[in-house]
Amino acid sequence: MYVDKELLLCDAQVVCNSGSELSENIIDLGAAKNVAKGQPLYLVIIVDTSFATATSINFQLMTHTTTTVSSGSIMVETGAITAANLTAGRAPIVIPVADALGTAKRYVGLYCVLAGSNATAGAITAFLAHDPA
């Protein structure tokens, strides 16, 4: 799978330190806002380190007019996924986003919302891709 550096949201980012974490990278869609260019586009989340302790995690692709995307609008989300199902080596989580991207504001980021206790371990790599296979 080809990963475009400009569409990388996070690379082996630990997302267990607080009740929620914002991706280390925020994507600037620029004035055009047409990253998909008529092709399907997907949010891909790979679990690098198994999650522990947290009850569940909801991954939300957020958009905003400023880089403060955590206070913006949710484009797509996974819904709550139990920590027991977020183990290293599992199949990537893939969510289509092309339709939602057309309505995006300038900045896009991934917001990870932990429910229950803070996780004691857990890291992900996330990016937008044309071909999630």
Residue with tokens 């007019």: 65
pLDDT one-digit tens code per residue, 31-72: 555 666 777 889 999 999 998 876 888 999 998 888 888 888
Backbone angles phi, psi at 106, to 5 degrees: -70, -35
Topology (CATH level 3) of domain 5-129: Jelly Rolls (2.60.120)
Strand partners, 129: 42
| Residue 117, C-beta contacts closer than 8 angstroms, at least 6 positions apart | 53, 54, 55
Q: Where exactly are the structural domains of the chain?
A: 5-129
pTM of the model: 0.88
